[in-house]
């Protein structure tokens, strides 16, 4: 199921740093996908439901060009991707083969996939960038996936960048990387993230006025009272903020 427009609007307005802080307060520490970095500077923040794919290390009888025509193939998986999803690919951290190139990412872009996130590498980088599909990955490698990996399935639990990801978990990716929001905690993030961003913006304004950090970040009772008073003064009557 795709994210509804209001959910997407909230998630693309808050940083991955804010999201990890909120979830840390709930006891979740391991949500940042290691190795998944923006392929291109200036990529927009993306949010979407996880559509998972999984590779295992290559085995010579299975990892062949002929496997690309198998019913269990990256090609078949791409055709199952719904518009608005984020494709999350477990490549086991392998960086000596590109899991996807320009043709596959072009098809993903055509199907309305929001982004590709992987702990592996991509290939045909100039072509991939030309598709306009935002990509978070660990690097670039010319060899095809079968040089190092065997594709085994999609829409099942995976481990990507050291993080457990289940289908329909929510992914948010920005310049800091990609993070996972467990589906059951999405409402928590939606409720708390905008206020966290608002509070931190106010703290930055205070720092701009040369306010010292002790008592400001984190806020003591006096600072919190000033912050709440400033919110009341800024919000028009009836806004409910």
HSE toward the beta carbon, residue 5, CA cutoff 13 A: 0
Assess whether pLDDT exceeds 70 at residue 53: yes
Assess whether pLDDT exceeds 60 at residue 200: yes
Single pTM value for the model? 0.91
The confidence score (pLDDT) of residue 4 equals 95
CATH number of this structure's domain 5-183, picked from the four choices 2.170.120.12, 3.20.20.100, 3.40.50.740, 3.50.30.40: 3.50.30.40
Tracing tokens 């923040």 back to the chain, one arrives at: 45
What's the gap between Cα 50 and its chain centre? 9
The domain ranges of the chain are: 5-183, 188-234
Assess whether pLDDT exceeds 70 at residue 233: yes
Assess whether pLDDT exceeds 90 at residue 210: yes
Assess whether pLDDT exceeds 60 at residue 237: no
What's the gap between Cα 14 and its chain centre? 12
In this prediction, residue 191 has a pLDDT band, given cuts at 50, 70 and 90, of very high
Condensed to tens digits (0 to 9), the pLDDT of residues 159-190 reads: 999 999 999 999 999 999 999 999 999 999 99
HSE toward the beta carbon, residue 23, CA cutoff 13 A: 23
């Amino acid at each position: 199921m795709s994210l509804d427009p209001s959910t997407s609007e909230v998630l693309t307005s808050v940083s991955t740093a804010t999201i990890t802080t909120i979830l840390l307060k709930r006891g979740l520490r391991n949500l940042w996908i290691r190795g998944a970095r923006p392929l291109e500077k200036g990529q927009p923040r993306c949010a979407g439901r996880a559509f998972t794919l999984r590779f295992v290390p290559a085995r010579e009888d299975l990892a062949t060009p002929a496997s690309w025509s198998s019913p269990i193939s990256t090609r078949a998986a791409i055709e199952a991707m719904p518009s608005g999803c984020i494709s999350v690919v477990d490549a086991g951290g392998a960086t000596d083969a590109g899991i996807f190139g320009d043709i596959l990412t072009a098809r993903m872009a055509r199907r309305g996939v929001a982004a590709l996130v992987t702990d592996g590498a991509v290939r045909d980088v100039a072509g991939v960038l030309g598709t306009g599909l935002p990509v978070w990955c660990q690097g670039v490698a010319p060899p095809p996936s079968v040089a190092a990996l065997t594709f085994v399935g999609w829409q099942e639990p995976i481990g990507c960048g050291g993080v457990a990801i289940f289908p329909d978990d929510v992914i948010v990716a920005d310049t800091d990387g990609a993070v996972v929001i467990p589906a059951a905690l999405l409402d928590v993030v939606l409720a708390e993230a905008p206020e966290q961003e608002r509070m931190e913006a106010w703290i930055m304004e205070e720092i701009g006025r040369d306010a010292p950090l002790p008592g400001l970040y984190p806020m003591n009772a006096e600072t919190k009272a000033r912050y709440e008073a400033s919110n009341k003064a800024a919000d028009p009557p009836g806004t409910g903020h």
